[in-house]
Amino acid sequence: MTLAQAKQQLRVHIRLLKKQHDTQSLLLLSEAVMAKIENSECFKHAQVVLIYASLDDEVSTFRFIEKWHGEKTFLLPKVNDDRLSLHPYAGTSSLHRGSYGIAEPITDEFHDFEKIDLAIVPGMAFDTEGNRLGRGRGYYDRLFAGIGKNIYKIGVAFPFQIVEQIPVGPTDIKVDFVCY
């Protein structure tokens, strides 16, 4: 089996697991995950946080962002062809549905990458070594390769998205910690 086939097989498996949970149970699991982030020292000390606007089947970030955006600067990704650009979150009115149905910011692009203290990233699956399986387009791997791998990265997932081993290739970038 090729690396691509192994990754796709794992994605299919995780999608099936996600379908076994209703929206309410995923929201409850999300609240527990985001509470752990909220109580972490790295989040408490962070001023500029890269985070994502969650899809329905991902750890929900919307309540968390709304709760903290007055005290922290949140950066949200926007899909631009084959790359992600980062944009400050300026409230729900600064979002529109973009690529893949993801809520994307309409604010100016952020380029001061050395100011990013923390990145909170989604994934289809993670292992305990920090390896991350995304949706298959490599957006986050290219983003971190481009803006610097020194940003502390927390992967967030539901407990059933943690697997023994993620198949990885040379361009896959690990997260520093997985919160589930």
> Is the pLDDT score of 2 beyond 90?
yes
Whole-prediction pTM: 0.93
For 37-53, the pLDDT digits (tens) are 999 999 999 999 999 99
Query: What pLDDT does 99 receive?
Result: 75
* CA 90 – CA 138 distance, rounded (Å): 26
Average pLDDT over residues 159-175: 96
* Residue 85 identity: S
pLDDT bin (cut points 50, 70, 90) of residue 171 is very high
Query: What pLDDT does 149 receive?
Result: 63
